[in-house]
Chain A
Amino acid sequence: MVGTAETLEQVQALEDRKYKYGFVTDIEMERAPKGLSEETIRFISAKKGEPDWMLEWRLKAYRHWLTMEEPDWAKLGYPPIDYQDAYYYAAPKSKDDKPKSLDEVDPELLATYEKLGIPLQEQKWLAGVAVDAVFDSVSVATTYKKKLEEKGIIFCSISEALRDHGDLVRQYIGSVVPYSDNFFATLNCAVFTDGSFVYIPKGVRCPMELSTYFRINASETGQFERTLIIADEGSYVSYLEGCTAPQRDENQLHAAVVELVALDDAEIKYSTVQNWYPGDENGVGGIYNFVTKRAACRGRNSKVAWTQVETGSAITWKYPSCILQGDNSVGEFYSVAITNNRQQADTGTKMIHIGKNTRSTIISKGISAGRANNTYRGLVKIMPKAENARNYTQCDSLLIGSKCGAHTVPYIEQRNPTAKVEHEATTAKISEDQLFYCQQRGLSEEDAVSVIVNGFCKEVMKELPMEFAVEAQKLIGISLEGSVG
């Protein structure tokens, strides 16, 4: 209940209804010329000192991207994006002489993190979190490296990984999300600037939760992160991704790609709290978030669990997926998506069952308030050889107010008679009885909504790592602020 109490405080503290993390840090940026061309891509690649094969791959992706059409099947409406009207590379100036220790890090940057509550200093210890903080595009600080190195774990920015572990990156990058996968992923292949790389060696259980905070900062700079996590045989890792962004009016494009590879008996737990600027009450500004996240459960008994709490962004287009290739592999997807004001979310998952005895669970909670639209879109596909595969899907939607929308679009494709697929979906509103009960016990209407919604989401929230769960509970309260009364 501590979290709930804090939620209430948080809501109280936010009477001005301003986005909590809405501030812009003023740091000199080094930019690629505006617009997208082979030149831009060569610039990015040269800037990062990448091997030739990487540049070739980027260019191959770019040329393919030119032949692609932007997808229009999602239930999203937004003005056309001008891909030439954006900068594709921005790095903090201090990049060339990368800080050896935190003392050397730009104090303004540290102050930014301080405001965000990122435990980059002592708090890291308390939180037990190693942080690979991404400020715009270039990693500026990676901590706990030593401790992880002892175990043979590689946790670094993908640029570093390209330099120091080129073969490993080359072996896996694009193996889950190929360069030609979809419009936004292909764009990412061409112009990604940074991201995280994790390799957990055989039999190693990562001793701490790995975390990257993504920040979008420079105005008009699209963010193209690329994350690659490989869990070798018998290993385990829990990875946290959280994001907040400063407030501004310019719509920002974000097209990240996350690739996970789990080999025999390996397990990856990937948790996200996404709280980018959603735009104001009238839908002005806000992040466009087009993300491709996919996991390959390649080995026997491998397991991947996606947990996401999506409260931010003006547009969310995101379908964390699992390819259950290895026999007995397991995929899980737990999602809370909250949309308020004019936010639009089209999110869900894909579970592709290929191996025998593969299992998947999908729990999705969509909450829609204001004039927002929230869509669950999910695919469960059972291939002919997936003997005894099993899927259970539950999608619940909650509507707050009479001007929002909640939609459920599941796809079931079943090609093996021994497999079982179950799907359930419900839609409801917060009942008058529930509200009355809470209010009668002294809660304001808004607090009551927060408590009820947190209860509605509990099945998903309990899957989050502890420190994330607290933050996420607060976010739920904040996101729905102003939605009743």
Chain B
Amino acid sequence: MAMERSYPAVLADRYAELAPTLAHHSVGWLNRLREESAARYRSAGLPTPRVEAWRFTNLKDLVATDFALAQALPPVALDSLPRSSLLAVNGHVLAFVNGKLRADLSTLDDLPAGVTLLPLSEALRREEGILSAHLGRVVETVENPFIDLNTALMEDGIVLSLAEGAVLDKPLHIVSIGVSTQGGDKPVAFFPRLLAVLGKNARATIFESHAGIGDGAYLSAMLSEIRLEEGAHLEHYQLQNEGRAAFHIANAYAQLAAGAVYDHFALQIGSRLSRNEVHAALLGEGARCHMNGAYLGLDKQHLDSTTFIDHAVPGCSSREVYKGVLDGQAHGVFQGKILVRRDAQQTDGHQLNRALLLSRGAEVNAKPELEIYADDVKCSHGATVGELDETQLFYLQARGIDRDSARALLIEAYVQEALDEIGNAEARLPFQRLVGGWLKSRKD
């Protein structure tokens, strides 16, 4: 009767299939890394809800799907993807379709001095020193089967490296488009990888747009490794707007040295089942982390936002605001953990999670968690779940605004609270457009 703690390792057998075809499989250290990862993944499998970290998100549908690795680029006209489903950003673009680079859609203009920005496939071919020095390092000690799965099966991705003091002149926009297969073909799975290493006092901004074409299933499972040296500053913005039958499992791990700043925001509106994990380890004094996000769910969507902030040294601060709006029979999950280690005195950590249920059948599960081993700290979290405030609705209606408009207005204001956390006004704008579009598409 007892439920097992792990599902079978889907896709594990694909490694054997992939290994000989990997263009870069002559790179010894990388192949070892892949093989170890594949072996670890095969024996661990995928977690069931019996595993504490996965109690609210059940991967059974994902496990039941027979995925294939993406082969050649699909013959689909990308015009069918509305522009409005991506973040509107001017910058360097690296575009991927089913995890494979689309050079024709990418624009890497002249890069400033000290900036290395190239597709992972190219970096692998050249065996950039940056890869052997950093790939897999940030997540070396982390237990997470999706890390191993990504490492074993990744084919392409993004490598961004900034030398000391370098500044990426324009934002980098990573566009990942999943195209579901037609007819009898198996749904595809792809594993983009981002490696971002910012040297001392370097600055960069990264946007990610994940979107989909077609009504079928696919799996997009990105892994991001981010290393910020002293005083480096990274703004990292994610949009998850995958196809409505897609699975999206993304993991981002950031390490911050002294005085580094990691500004993060994630908006989740797409997919049938998604889990967006963001982890930040504050390893140097005075590091700061802002981890914010919003999730807007409709129909039977399952949207999971899981965050983890590790205060390892004294004098760091973190701030987190997540807002959820759930309509239809959507299921929202927020898990946010703040760990304050023994040495991390003078930690300042705050977290707020609020969710709004708009309909019967919608559900929210929240688990904000504090684990604290230092005494001189200020830590708090707050969580609320409820519906729109009747008195606020009444206030607006009394001023001649019809009920539907009043509701729309209040929901917008509710989400806006999370958007306001995006310090950079230019970055806020594209998210505002998407949220606006979502609100319009929603029927009361």
Measured in the bound complex, the distance between the Cα atoms of B204 and A436 in whole Å is 47
Q: Does A418 contact B (CB under 8 A)?
A: yes
Q: Does A170 contact B (CB under 8 A)?
A: no
Verify B386–A427 contact, CB threshold 8 A: no
Give the chain B neighbours of A429 by CB distance below 8 A: 375-377
Measured in the bound complex, the distance between the Cα atoms of B288 and A92 in whole Å is 63
Q: Does B360 contact A (CB under 8 A)?
A: yes
Verify B380–A425 contact, CB threshold 8 A: yes
Q: How far is the CB of A366 from chain B (nearest CB, A)?
A: 10
Instruction: Pick from B76-84, B366-374, B426-434 the stretch touching chain A.
Output: B366-374
Verify A416–B380 contact, CB threshold 8 A: no
Segment 339-370 of B: residues with Cβ below 8 Å from A: 342, 345, 355, 357-370
Measured in the bound complex, the distance between the Cα atoms of B378 and A399 in whole Å is 11
Measured in the bound complex, the distance between the Cα atoms of B379 and A397 in whole Å is 10
**From B374, which residue of chain A is reached at the shortest CB distance?**
A402
Verify B380–A402 contact, CB threshold 8 A: no
Most buried by A among B2, B52, B381: B381
Give the chain A neighbours of B360 by CB distance below 8 A: 384, 416-417
**From B351, which residue of chain A is reached at the shortest CB distance?**
A425
Q: Does A424 contact B (CB under 8 A)?
A: yes
Verify B52–A412 contact, CB threshold 8 A: no
**From A375, which residue of chain B is reached at the shortest CB distance?**
B371
Give the chain A neighbours of B370 by CB distance below 8 A: 397, 406-409, 425, 427
Interface extent on A, as a size class? Answer: 35 or more
Give the chain A neighbours of B342 by CB distance below 8 A: 402-403
Measured in the bound complex, the distance between the Cα atoms of B379 and A402 in whole Å is 15
Give the chain A neighbours of B128 by CB distance below 8 A: none
**From B50, which residue of chain A is reached at the shortest CB distance?**
A73
Q: Mark B368-403, 1 if CB is under 8 A from A, else 0.
A: 111111111111111111110000000000000000
Verify A408–B381 contact, CB threshold 8 A: yes
**From B354, which residue of chain A is reached at the shortest CB distance?**
A422
Verify B374–A426 contact, CB threshold 8 A: no
Verify B355–A414 contact, CB threshold 8 A: yes
Verify B385–A420 contact, CB threshold 8 A: yes
Measured in the bound complex, the distance between the Cα atoms of B397 and A347 in whole Å is 46
Give the chain A neighbours of B367 by CB distance below 8 A: 409-412
Measured in the bound complex, the distance between the Cα atoms of B355 and A461 in whole Å is 33
Q: Mark A421-446, 1 if CB is under 8 A from B, else 0.
A: 11111111100000000000000000
Q: Does A250 contact B (CB under 8 A)?
A: no
Segment 42-64 of A: residues with Cβ below 8 Å from B: none
Measured in the bound complex, the distance between the Cα atoms of B357 and A413 in whole Å is 12
Q: How far is the CB of B371 from chain A (nearest CB, A)?
A: 5
Give the chain B neighbours of A67 by CB distance below 8 A: 1-2
Measured in the bound complex, the distance between the Cα atoms of B384 and A424 in whole Å is 9
Give the chain A neighbours of B365 by CB distance below 8 A: 411-414
Measured in the bound complex, the distance between the Cα atoms of B359 and A397 in whole Å is 35
Give the chain B neighbours of A413 by CB distance below 8 A: 363-365
Given contacts A405-B371, A407-B371, contact A416 B379 (CB under 8 A): no
Measured in the bound complex, the distance between the Cα atoms of B379 and A406 in whole Å is 11
Q: Does A419 contact B (CB under 8 A)?
A: yes
Verify B380–A415 contact, CB threshold 8 A: no
Among A417, A421, A428, the residue within 8 A (CB) of B384 is: A421
Give the chain A neighbours of B382 by CB distance below 8 A: 422-425
Q: Does A400 contact B (CB under 8 A)?
A: yes
User: What is the total number of residues of chain B having a CB less than 8 Å from a CB of chain A?
Assistant: 37
Given contacts A384-B360, A413-B363, contact A419 B386 (CB under 8 A): yes
Verify A405–B373 contact, CB threshold 8 A: yes
Q: How far is the CB of B357 from chain A (nearest CB, A)?
A: 4
Q: How far is the CB of B336 from chain A (nearest CB, A)?
A: 11
Among B345, B364, B373, B379, the residue within 8 A (CB) of A414 is: B364
Verify B364–A425 contact, CB threshold 8 A: no
**From B337, which residue of chain A is reached at the shortest CB distance?**
A409
Among A402, A408, A411, the residue within 8 A (CB) of B375 is: A402
Q: Does A482 contact B (CB under 8 A)?
A: no
Give the chain B neighbours of A411 by CB distance below 8 A: 365-367
Verify B375–A417 contact, CB threshold 8 A: no
Q: Does A218 contact B (CB under 8 A)?
A: no
Measured in the bound complex, the distance between the Cα atoms of B367 and A409 in whole Å is 7
Q: Does A401 contact B (CB under 8 A)?
A: yes
Verify B379–A427 contact, CB threshold 8 A: yes
Among B361, B363, B375, the residue within 8 A (CB) of A400 is: B375
Q: Mark B286-327, 1 if CB is under 8 A from A, else 0.
A: 000000000000000000000000000000000000000000
Verify A407–B369 contact, CB threshold 8 A: yes
Given contacts A405-B372, A420-B384, A423-B383, contact A415 B363 (CB under 8 A): yes
Measured in the bound complex, the distance between the Cα atoms of B364 and A409 in whole Å is 16
Q: Does A404 contact B (CB under 8 A)?
A: yes
Q: How far is the CB of A221 from chain B (nearest CB, A)?
A: 30
Q: How far is the CB of B379 from chain A (nearest CB, A)?
A: 4
Verify B375–A401 contact, CB threshold 8 A: yes
Measured in the bound complex, the distance between the Cα atoms of B122 and A213 in whole Å is 74
Measured in the bound complex, the distance between the Cα atoms of B327 and A417 in whole Å is 10
**From A415, which residue of chain B is reached at the shortest CB distance?**
B363
Give the chain A neighbours of B52 by CB distance below 8 A: 73
Give the chain B neighbours of A122 by CB distance below 8 A: none
Give the chain B neighbours of A423 by CB distance below 8 A: 366, 368, 381-384
Verify B372–A417 contact, CB threshold 8 A: no
**From A385, which residue of chain B is reached at the shortest CB distance?**
B360
Q: Does A15 contact B (CB under 8 A)?
A: no
Q: Does A69 contact B (CB under 8 A)?
A: yes
Q: How far is the CB of B50 from chain A (nearest CB, A)?
A: 10
Give the chain A neighbours of B371 by CB distance below 8 A: 405, 407
Give the chain A neighbours of B361 by CB distance below 8 A: 384
Q: How far is the CB of B394 from chain A (nearest CB, A)?
A: 16
Given contacts A412-B367, A426-B380, contact A406 B386 (CB under 8 A): no
Verify B377–A427 contact, CB threshold 8 A: yes
**From A393, which residue of chain B is reached at the shortest CB distance?**
B383
Verify B372–A397 contact, CB threshold 8 A: yes
Most buried by A among B360, B361, B373: B373
Most buried by A among B358, B359, B362, B368: B368
Measured in the bound complex, the distance between the Cα atoms of B72 and A238 in whole Å is 73
Give the chain B neighbours of A421 by CB distance below 8 A: 383-386
Verify A427–B372 contact, CB threshold 8 A: yes
Give the chain B neighbours of A414 by CB distance below 8 A: 355, 357, 363-366, 385
Q: How far is the CB of A107 from chain B (nearest CB, A)?
A: 48
Measured in the bound complex, the distance between the Cα atoms of B2 and A414 in whole Å is 25
Verify B368–A422 contact, CB threshold 8 A: no
Q: Mark B35-72, 1 if CB is under 8 A from A, else 0.
A: 00000000000000000100000000000000000000
Verify B362–A409 contact, CB threshold 8 A: no
Among B2, B363, B383, the residue within 8 A (CB) of A69 is: B2
Measured in the bound complex, the distance between the Cα atoms of B381 and A411 in whole Å is 13
Measured in the bound complex, the distance between the Cα atoms of B344 and A399 in whole Å is 14
Among B372, B385, B387, the residue within 8 A (CB) of A399 is: B372
Measured in the bound complex, the distance between the Cα atoms of B369 and A286 in whole Å is 28
Give the chain A neighbours of B383 by CB distance below 8 A: 410, 412, 421-423
Q: How far is the CB of B312 from chain A (nearest CB, A)?
A: 15
16 extra interface residue pairs, beta carbon distance < 8 Å, beyond A407-B370, A417-B360: A69-B2, A407-B371, A408-B368, A408-B369, A410-B367, A411-B367, A412-B385, A413-B363, A414-B355, A417-B359, A421-B384, A422-B382, A422-B383, A425-B382, A426-B379, A429-B375
Give me the interface of A with B, judged by CB distance under 8 Å: 67, 69, 73, 382, 384, 397, 399-429
Some 20 contacts from A to B, beta carbons below 8 A apart, are A401-B375, A402-B375, A404-B375, A407-B369, A407-B371, A409-B369, A412-B366, A413-B364, A416-B357, A417-B359, A417-B360, A417-B362, A420-B387, A421-B386, A422-B383, A423-B382, A425-B380, A426-B379, A427-B377, A427-B380
Q: Which 10 A-B pairs have the closest CB atoms?
A: A417-B357, A399-B375, A420-B386, A412-B366, A414-B385, A429-B375, A423-B383, A408-B370, A427-B379, A417-B387
